[in-house]
Amino acid sequence: MNDVSENRRYSRYALALLLAVNLLNYIDRQVLYAVFPLIKADLRLSDTALGFLGSAFMLCYMVSAPFFGRLGDRGSRTGLASFGLVTWSLATSLAGFAPGYRSLLAARTVIGVGEASFGTVSPGLIADYFSKERRGRVLSFFYLAIPVGSALGYLLGGIIGQGLGWHAAFLIVGAPGLLLALPVRRLREPRRPGGGNPAANGSETGKNAFVLLLANRSFVVNTLAMAAMTFALGGLAQWVPSFLNRVHGLDVARGNTLFGAVTVVAGIGGTLAGGWLGDRWQQKSPRGHLLVSGWGFVVGAPVVALAIIAPSLAASLAAIFLAEFFLFFNTGPLNTVIVNVTNPSLRATAFAVNIFFIHALGDAVSPTILGFCSDLWGIRTALLIAPLAVAMAAFFCFLCTRYIEADMGRVVE
């Protein structure tokens, strides 16, 4: 009984530590977008060049992910998580010394390497600390870092950038990650279901791993749903602070504070509600996680459009709140689908492939596309692309319900 209690306490400690790291992950990722107006004015950039700062990070992130996924299935996941944390924290701080566009672009690219190393191994690591029945809720807690970290990135970036300049914003938010690197490295590796040496688990970790994943219909269609969602949310995350600045006349500090506050409240509520509802519906049907996400997207798409076209600031912020609440429904459930349809020996690779495609088709291109459209038609018209992508995410969620039961049945826990 004491061993069981000790294991539960350690699992909660590991979750809390990795959640803290993921929080820093999203703070360091989103701080750039908070200071977009300051960088644009200082370096005299077009919206297309500004958007490419976000796209370059995502391109490096998605290209690096498959490499780290293969390493994660064969070796130490805690070592890779710690390496990633150190890499992106140092690169974020170094962005604070960037004298111009090229050096800032280089720093953002290196951040992509670090975040790919952590992002590919951490979900599977957490899943192995907890039972299958609790995965949706546990991963929802882990992914609370998305709204909370993003909100803090906007808040800290806006306040520090307005007061001390955009260089200081990068310097200050990058340093704390180095303090958590050693505790992450010392985490105990949980037992991987299926047992044994992960490198010796057969063809799934061999050269046929990618073929097996691409033959998994649930994995592929679920990934397409996440890619459409990532296209929308990535573009909105990058451009909404600038939208509030240009369309509604808010300065950098106030705009980012309001957007951050809305994001953290709506994101926490939506993420926790989606994880809880997903697990409840999953007990009744293998399609539960997908249905929660799909209906969240159905409600979210028109509300995103309303947030963009609303004439007043109050109406726009209210619609942004509702849109984020329903869009964040998907966070825990869709990541849980990846875990549930892939064998344990393949999960780091599965998340790596998922990361590659959701960003290749999503926010690696959407910031630049929206920036280009903004240069042509204005930021409000450009952002109306986002609700169309959300509607596509709903379509893929419902399509995936046709395959999920059969694919879950093939997994050996």
Q: 192-246 pLDDT, tens per residue?
A: 665 444 444 444 444 577 788 888 999 999 999 999 998 998 888 778 888 888 8
Q: pLDDT tier at 6 (50, 70, 90 boundaries)? A: low
CA distance 316 to 309: 8
Q: What is the pLDDT of residue 294?
A: 93
Q: What is the pLDDT of residue 157?
A: 87
- Whether the pTM exceeds 0.85: the reply is no
66-69's contacts with Cβ under 8 Å and 24+ in sequence apart are 66/210, 66/349, 66/352, 66/353, 66/356, 67/116, 67/352, 68/116, 68/117, 68/120, 68/121, 68/348, 68/352, 69/120, 69/121, 69/348, 69/349, 69/350, 69/351, 69/352, 69/353, 69/355
The pLDDT of 290-305, averaged and rounded, is 93
Average pLDDT over the chain, rounded to an integer: 85
Domains in the chain and their CATH numbers? 2-176+203-409 (1.20.1250.20)
Q: What is the pLDDT of residue 133?
A: 67
Q: CA geometry: angle at 121 spanning 115 and 126, to 5°?
A: 120
Residue 4 has pLDDT above 70, yes or no: no
Q: pLDDT tier at 20 (50, 70, 90 boundaries)? A: very high
CA distance 5 to 25: 30
Closest to 94 (Cα-Cα) out of 30, 170, 32, 37: 170
The secondary element (H helix, E strand) that includes residue 293 is helix 288-309
CA distance 150 to 259: 10
CA distance 184 to 178: 10
Q: What is the pLDDT of residue 286?
A: 84
Task: Report H helices in 75-205.
Answer: 77-95, 101-129, 135-142, 145-164, 166-174, 181-185
**DSSP sequence for 357-371:** HHHHTTTTTHHHHHH
Residue 3 has pLDDT above 70, yes or no: no
CA distance 24 to 312: 33
CA distance 260 to 266: 10
Q: What is the pLDDT of residue 231?
A: 92
CA distance 38 to 24: 22
Q: Can you state the angle between helices 77-95 and 101-129, rounded to 10 degrees?
A: 150
Is residue 231 a contact partner of residue 387, using CB atoms and an 8 Å limit?
A: no
